[in-house]
Amino acid sequence: MGVIRIRHQSFFGTFRTTFGEIMSTTPTQVPSGPQRMTPSEAFVETMVARGVKTMFGIMGSAFMDAMDIFAPAGITLIPVVHEQGAGHMADGYARVSGRHGVVIGQNGPGISNCVTSIAAAFWAHSPVVIITPETGTMGMGLGGFQEANQLPMFQEFTKYQGHVNNPKRMAEYTGRVFDRAISEMGPTQLNIPRDYFYGEITCEIPAEQKIERGAGGENSLNEAAELLATAKFPVILSGGGVVMGDAVAECQALAERLGAPVVTGYLRNDAFPASHPLWAGPLGYQGSKAAMKLIAQADVVVALGSRMGPFGTLPQHGLDYWPKEAKIIQVEADHTNLGLVKKISVGICGDAKAAAKAITARLAGKALACDATKDARAKTIADEKAEWEKELDEWTHERDAYSLDMIEEAKGEKPFSGGEYLHPRQVLRELEKAMPKRVMVSTDIGNINSVANSYLRFDEPRSFFAPMSFGNCGYALPTIMGAKCAAPDRPAIAYAGDGAWAMSMVEIMTAVRHNIPVTAVVFHNRQWGAEKKNQVDFYNRRFVAGELESESFAGMAKAMGAEGIVVDKLEDVGAALKKAVDMQMNEGKTCVIEIMCTRELGDPFRRDALAKPVRLLDKYKDFV
């Protein structure tokens, strides 16, 4: 089932059969016991033993001997346009499947192109394996073609780095990096000198090692239960560990026992079902005011599978909401995160699922202080949510003067067949209403995408993907493509602003070439919005390098073989999304929806990191 064969089959039918086969085919039988084989065969067979069926990257001579046997091993290499996109696709694949996402490329520049995407996967705790073939051993240190020291590049963004120092250890190191990616909950690197793929060795393919995590220490679990028994207004903060640990049901059971509102961590909107009455929405930048007002009342917070990162707990909407006097119970599988950001009262080093189940069991049959106020708390939760929803419905009051100028200009010229530039928040609300069931959404970094944090709600985990605190551009499209490969039966939608979109839109060609139908929503507001907001608030509207006038992104999509829709009327937003998703799911077509937005600017993205300018030299004294 090679890539060349894919190109000659029918468009959507190929996607259905190819990726359906990839996800369902039982791996070929792995040799047992010591066997005579080549290092390339040892490398490939070890991946087969780990269930690898899909890889992302660009072909290269550095690993061609192994690549030659990918197809008979049941592995498909999906070639991308740029290796950063391959890393993001591997990230999306891993975050949906819960299995390894694998990226590979040519030594030197092909590998260095992946650094940004591996960093994003690191902060998302994704089990991505980056395979980095490198210069041959006899050429190292001579400054040869595409030579680079590839381990230091990824040192900061990997949980483990394996370097094959002898061809006989190929299977050993390959197995270890795959196992460590799962056990360490993050990217790992397999570095292989290119000449080590060749020769003959005797080796045994190692079996996959699986780590079973427990609920945590008995003492800490008992302390947590005792603290919760006295809580009058408990709140649960559901983080990424709940998603990755398949712990949503256990989190829900604990919340229902306590009658506790559940807020989700920054960009972890899928960590609790939005349809549940105890759901309150996400914290962090452009998050839910309801969530913030509720957690501000907490006397005990259960941070379940959350490191409570600094950016995700900053004041927002004028609310300094983090409860200063609350007792915090933190459950983390990584003990180094316990108490790292926030002072905690109880730290539980354990699996989120097992810990939540164990705490709930300890509370069973007990009279809790919060029981007496459960009904009143339920009303408070419902009232805060209703007030926030009403505010979102009516939130079109941002009228930046610079933006108003653009609206008036647009109306005068009527550049979009009589349409208008649309207010981003109104657009996001209409998109929310039109979202299909079981949708997966990825968002890029940027002004409008961050505002979308208030409008994206999910009932199923492994549905929402963002570059987390690394905050890199060019993330959304390739990540949702990887997610689609892992779950071809689910609708897949990417959000991007025009700046970030331009960094990754070439992967539309990959989607078309290899039949990975997705839908992209591009908010075309002709600017770097988040940074321009800083220039408005801190630099007296001295706009430098923030303009992004461009041709039609829908037109570019059509030139790359996809469908394209331009939306310049609010009433057309929902219909456009439904049409694009229908084409994706029923016709196998990728579609780019270009939405012509005003230049309204939301809250400053980095209020915590900027200050009013001070100028000491006379030549700059007016620049304050």
H/E element holding 520? strand 519-524
List, in order, residues 6 or more apart from 619 with CB less than 8 Å away.
none
Helix boundaries (H) for 98-217: 109-112, 115-123, 150-154, 170-183
Q: 49 with 174: CB under 8 angstroms?
A: no
pLDDT-based confidence at residue 8 (cuts at 50, 70, 90): very low
pLDDT-based confidence at residue 446 (cuts at 50, 70, 90): confident
Burial of 483 (0-12, 13-18, 19+ CB in 10 A): buried
pLDDT-based confidence at residue 14 (cuts at 50, 70, 90): very low
Q: Supply the pLDDT for residue 1.
A: 31
**From the CA atom positions of the chain, what is the Rg in Å?**
25
Q: Supply the pLDDT for residue 358.
A: 98
290 has pLDDT over 80: yes
196 has pLDDT over 50: yes
396 has pLDDT over 90: no
pLDDT-based confidence at residue 24 (cuts at 50, 70, 90): very low
pLDDT-based confidence at residue 620 (cuts at 50, 70, 90): confident
Q: What percentage of the chain exceeds 90 in pLDDT? A: 74
DSSP type of residue 607: G
Condensed to tens digits (0 to 9), the pLDDT of residues 467-522 reads 998 889 999 999 999 999 999 999 999 999 988 899 999 999 999 999 999 999 99
Q: Which of 65-74, 128-137, 465-474 has the lowest mean pLDDT?
A: 465-474
H/E element holding 290? helix 289-295
Q: Supply the pLDDT for residue 25.
A: 41
Residue 365's CB: how many other CB atoms inside 10 A? 6
Minimal CA–CA distance to 457: which of 477, 433, 424, 485? 433
Condensed to tens digits (0 to 9), the pLDDT of residues 237-253 reads 999 999 999 999 999 99
Mean pLDDT of 17-41: 67
Condensed to tens digits (0 to 9), the pLDDT of residues 295-309 reads 999 999 999 999 998
Average pLDDT of the chain is 90
Q: 125 with 465: CB under 8 angstroms?
A: no
Maximum distance among all alpha carbons in the chain?
78
**Number of residues assigned to the chain:** 624
36 has pLDDT over 90: yes
The SS3 call for residue 155 is helix
H/E element holding 253? helix 248-258
User: Strand pairing partners for 75?
Assistant: none
318 has pLDDT over 80: yes
Q: Which pTM was predicted?
A: 0.91
Q: Supply the pLDDT for residue 321.
A: 95
473 phi/psi in degrees, rounded to 5: -80, 160
pLDDT-based confidence at residue 80 (cuts at 50, 70, 90): very high
C-alpha distance across the termini of the chain, in Å? 62
Task: Please spell the DSSP secondary structure of 347-366, one letter per residue.
Answer: EEES-HHHHHHHHHHHHTT-
Mean pLDDT of 409-425: 65
Q: Which of 14-18, 69-73, 193-197, 563-567 has the lowest mean pLDDT?
A: 14-18
Q: Supply the pLDDT for residue 398.
A: 63
DSSP type of residue 483: H
605 has pLDDT over 90: no
